[in-house]
Amino acid sequence: MRVLLTYFGAFEGVPVNPTDRLAHAVHAHCEEHPEWAVEVILQELPVVFGESARRLNETIAAETPDAVIALGVAVGRNKVSLERVAINLDDARIADTEGIQRKDSPIVADAPAAYFSTLPTRAVVEKAQALNLPAELSYTAGTYVCNHVFYSLMHAVAGTTIPAGFIHVPALEFETGPQNQLVAHVDAGGVEGTAIPTISVEEAKQIITLAILEISER
């Protein structure tokens, strides 16, 4: 099975995006287990409205994956969140990395108001929780570029049998410290407040791997 795993670079308030390191850790982990018969294809997406969707669609067309998982960071959350619903709306207080700010803008004109993830979200969360891993179901991916990619992904695979969806991760432990101040943005799916919880890269890697293996088993 060929799984496309996308991740993001830095954006306002997130000078080092944990999805980069996490995606590469998952890729290496799957390579260490050839018996899983899983090939992970990595693709970084820009934190830019429009361009992120274009890059995603190009990669899907070029790689023809059997499944797609998009990763994003939600600073302030304390669990890996398997998102269930993508909405057809760009609306954020912060601009993307090219200075584009969108308010009350549809992502795709004359398209459905929302799409549901086709990943086995509940099964993955229940298996992760049984292993005491920090995972949850989420019903909001925000209205920033994460949701933009999530909605664009589901629109791209609509009518196909390709399992696809979006997973938010909290800040990871390597990001903490005064040299790397993180800022939570509710528009980006984060939880605004004074505390910034973290989980380990290992915990996050195990949950994403669980998702991949659950898809493979199905």
Q: Residues with catalytic annotation?
A: 146
- The residue with tokens 């800040």 is 171
Hey, what amino acid is at 212?
I
- Let me know: does 65 contact 30? Beta carbons within 8 Å: no
- The residue with tokens 């399992």 is 163
- Let me know: does 180 contact 95? Beta carbons within 8 Å: no
> Which of 52-79 are b and which e, b meaning 16 or more Cβ less than 10 Å from the residue's Cβ?
bbebbeebbeeeebbbbbbbbbbbbbbb
Residue 130 CB coordination number (10 Å)? 9
How many angstroms from the chain centroid is the CA of residue 137?
Answer: 13
